[in-house]
Chains A and B, each alone.
Chain A
């Protein structure tokens, strides 16, 4: 397919020998005092002008968090985190209240330009409409919410979405403008007591995206959020909440990058999805946080709780993730299949190189009747990395006719890395049908030599083989991002073969 060819060509043009997004933006920021206490929580809530109920919610989470301990069951190894040695809030200092993109600090705009993120809707704000009939899918509109450290700095296409009835805004704004929706749904999928990092997030989350798609509406464009960690020693705790009301559809993509630093930084996000009757949510992630240097120094700790609730009958939630970054990944985007005939999907490509450690997978919890789920996981380990798939598929006693298909494939590049598969499967009723397939293979010298003998360079050969390996999952990504993801995959594996 030409797409692979294009990737190979693009990769050649890019200066690849280092993490491309490792630069730092020098701007003044407004930070909370270091460390975590009730005061920190109050500080954040106050900064956001939050109503009292929100502060109460946060404080309850904080008190709960004090009683909890960090999970240790994942196959990852890192020094103990000193939670008092972190900043929990950092915002670029605004010169004045921002009403349009033009007023955003030009340094931040430059940052997003460098990252290649389409804040090009600047043009839209200036009244430059795309030509009618411009149906080129590559130029389809994408609404972007850009989160810089702890705050959202820009959300584009808000007005156009509003016309369709879709609410897409920073969650900090939603708390003030749509308290009834936020109160109804926040914490309804991932309760504040869920797990150590989710509880921490509930106490100190600063920003993230909020999406509400009203009944019967098909969201007219892709929604996306770009998360950027800039400030030193700062944790990023974003919170995303997406609600697809009856019969609606939305596709959402998140991307993440961070500067290159020697110290580790914590990213503990919570994402909650709710799909009502006949609704569908497609959630895609391209995660490229700084993975640390070639000796394993620095990098992001990506400890994330993502869960979707197929609350209504015939609802569907689909997670697609391309994970190439972070020093440590601890992430299990899951589906609760509550509604009858609901469907959950998890498509994952997790690539680890250098000293990266990945423990990722999914949970498919079948509660309703005739629910089905599908898991396709592709793990690729290179360098000295460790890559674990951990997944749970469970069918409740009343979940008659539950079906699951799981395929976990691991590919090893070199002989100093590891791939592990840890599936948990529970069927509590006899009508459930669960299938599990798993393979582990190595990119063999013979395959590489075959490609090279036909004229491909060593790196083109690795890129081709890996892209073939992950093809089933790449096909699930929105088209605009599939090429991006292919490119990222090849870059992540640079230097993985001697």
Chain B
């Protein structure tokens, strides 16, 4: 069974259709890249999979391990293993990163009927994980993303990914706002988390990120549809010739 199956998905935002029947299949362990120009519907797709309010699904379905994802609340989707790394992670003043991580992790575990982590067990786990990603401990004491640099915010996303152990990670424009060093660090983190059980969907505008995270499959989106899929060489082709060749196809 596929991990994620998106079939004939049509999505509207305020009466305007953004996705016009999108189909996508992702299997365990695969890395998919979704590329496309601005406004092609890449971010909409990631938001709808994660369950962000404000989108109306008018047709099609999204199955996650065969279960209807659209029927689940966003927090339930998270508990089932869907993780969205945000393009612009938000700041939550007064809530320490450590507190946030623990509250979220235990909420997910509870939703799955697993026992919650005790404080010592949680501390042990978070230290282990942050050490393996070279994330300094003092970052955990600060308010969630408050005063973080662009690179730190993305590393915080990677840390959460490592801690929550989702089976599907969607990385929405993870390269935006990062200089090349920060990008490399974040990408290294993502690569370290890739496993035969975990699939990654990397949404990006530029080919640049794919120098660091090498995809198995590349999809090109245009005007709310996947217009072409292929191997990693497709990304290079796009870099050379641009998106205009696909405008007509859509």
Q: Which A residues have a C-beta under 8 Å from some C-beta of B? A: 1-2, 4-5, 8, 444-447, 449-458, 460, 464-465, 467-472
Task: Name 29 interchain pairs, CB-CB below 8 A, sorted by A.
Answer: A4-B95, A4-B103, A5-B99, A5-B106, A8-B103, A446-B90, A447-B92, A449-B52, A449-B74, A452-B73, A453-B50, A453-B52, A453-B75, A453-B84, A453-B86, A454-B100, A455-B78, A455-B79, A455-B105, A455-B111, A455-B164, A456-B107, A460-B103, A464-B100, A465-B92, A468-B95, A468-B143, A469-B94, A472-B94
Whether A469 contacts B107 by the Cβ 8 Å rule is no
Whether B107 contacts A455 by the Cβ 8 Å rule is yes
Separation of A465 and B91 alpha carbons in the complex (Å): 10
Chain B residues within 8 Å of A8, by CB: 103
Separation of A470 and B83 alpha carbons in the complex (Å): 29
Q: How far is the CB of B47 from chain A (nearest CB, A)?
A: 8
Whether A452 contacts B92 by the Cβ 8 Å rule is no
Q: How far is the CB of B179 from chain A (nearest CB, A)?
A: 24
Specify the chain B residue showing the minimal Cβ separation from A466.
Answer: B94
Q: How many A-B residue pairs have CB under 8 A?
A: 90
Whether A455 contacts B108 by the Cβ 8 Å rule is yes
Whether B86 contacts A464 by the Cβ 8 Å rule is no
Whether B53 contacts A460 by the Cβ 8 Å rule is no
**0/1 interface trace, chain B 97-130, chain A, CB 8 Å (1 if under):** 0111011111110010000000100000000000
Q: Which B residues have a C-beta under 8 Å from some C-beta of A? A: 50-54, 73-75, 78-79, 83-84, 86, 88-90, 92-96, 98-100, 102-108, 111, 119, 143, 160, 164
Apart from the given pairs A453-B74, A453-B75, A456-B75, 19 other A-B contacts in the complex at a CB distance below 8 Å: A1-B98, A2-B102, A2-B119, A444-B90, A446-B90, A447-B90, A449-B50, A450-B89, A451-B104, A452-B73, A453-B83, A454-B100, A455-B105, A455-B107, A456-B103, A458-B75, A460-B107, A468-B95, A471-B95
Which of B74, B98, B103 meets A464, CB within 8 Å?
B103
Q: How far is the CB of A170 from chain B (nearest CB, A)?
A: 39
Whether A457 contacts B92 by the Cβ 8 Å rule is no
Separation of A453 and B86 alpha carbons in the complex (Å): 10
Whether B92 contacts A468 by the Cβ 8 Å rule is yes
Chain B residues within 8 Å of A447, by CB: 90, 92
Q: How far is the CB of A359 from chain B (nearest CB, A)?
A: 25
Which of A2, A458, A464 meets B92, CB within 8 Å?
A464
Chain A residues within 8 Å of B94, by CB: 467-472
- Which of B74, B84, B164 has the most C-beta atoms of chain A within 10 angstroms of its own C-beta? B74
Chain A residues within 8 Å of B96, by CB: 1
Specify the chain B residue showing the minimal Cβ separation from A444.
Answer: B90
Specify the chain B residue showing the minimal Cβ separation from A441.
Answer: B93
Chain B residues within 8 Å of A445, by CB: 53-54
Q: How far is the CB of A212 from chain B (nearest CB, A)?
A: 38
Separation of A273 and B219 alpha carbons in the complex (Å): 71
Q: How far is the CB of B48 from chain A (nearest CB, A)?
A: 12
Separation of A450 and B51 alpha carbons in the complex (Å): 11
Whether B104 contacts A455 by the Cβ 8 Å rule is yes
Separation of A445 and B47 alpha carbons in the complex (Å): 13
Chain A residues within 8 Å of B95, by CB: 4, 464-465, 467-468, 471
Separation of A325 and B194 alpha carbons in the complex (Å): 51
Chain B residues within 8 Å of A472, by CB: 94
Chain A residues within 8 Å of B52, by CB: 449, 453
Separation of A468 and B53 alpha carbons in the complex (Å): 23
Whether A456 contacts B102 by the Cβ 8 Å rule is no
Q: How far is the CB of A446 from chain B (nearest CB, A)?
A: 5
Chain A residues within 8 Å of B89, by CB: 450
Specify the chain A residue showing the minimal Cβ separation from B145.
Answer: A450
Separation of A452 and B50 alpha carbons in the complex (Å): 10
Chain A residues within 8 Å of B104, by CB: 451, 454-456
Specify the chain B residue showing the minimal Cβ separation from A8.
Answer: B103
